[in-house]
Amino acid sequence: MIKPVLLLLIAVTLLQPCFSEETSTKKFTINGELKCDGKPMKNAKVMLVSIANNSNFKKQKIETELDTVKTNSSGLFTVKGEIDVLYEVEPKIYVYHKCRYPWKCQRKDPYDVPDDFFIALEKNSTYTMDPIELAQATHQVKIVC
């Protein structure tokens, strides 16, 4: 009877780090600044998402919203997130705005967060993006109504 209990105790001890919240999830903060023609872009919606590949379906990605904020009067924003480092995820920032777009709808521009930041991710890391000029659309810009 002692042998199975001892084996179970050893297994739990060895596997505990795999399921520990401290080792499997990492919290992070991303700061940024948005401009439109060089001026602060206030009240733009900034959404931080985590994109994971779905192993059950080829080329299907699962997108999870981590945080959504509006820029302040200076065009500054801070989004916060938490990712599970046991899975391969691709964090991305979407900016919804009307810079140089006078119609009812908004532009949705995606911005990548560098892989280097997440490779070296510590428990509570902060990344500051370079200022983003929204007058220059990204290649993947979409119109959202």
Return the domain boundaries, the chain. Answer: 25-144
Closest CA to 71 of 36, 102, 104: 36
* pTM confidence score: 0.78
Find the helix or strand (DSSP H, E) in which 122 lies: none
Enter the tokens of residue 10.
């050893």
User: Model confidence over 79-126: pLDDT tens digits?
Assistant: 999 887 666 678 899 999 999 988 899 999 999 988 777 666 776 789
Give the percent of the chain with pLDDT over 90: 48
Residue 28 has pLDDT above 80, yes or no: yes
Is residue 6 very low, low, confident or very high in pLDDT (cuts 50, 70, 90)? very low
Residue 21 has pLDDT above 50, yes or no: no
Q: What is the pLDDT of residue 49?
A: 95
CATH number of 25-144: 2.60.40.3330
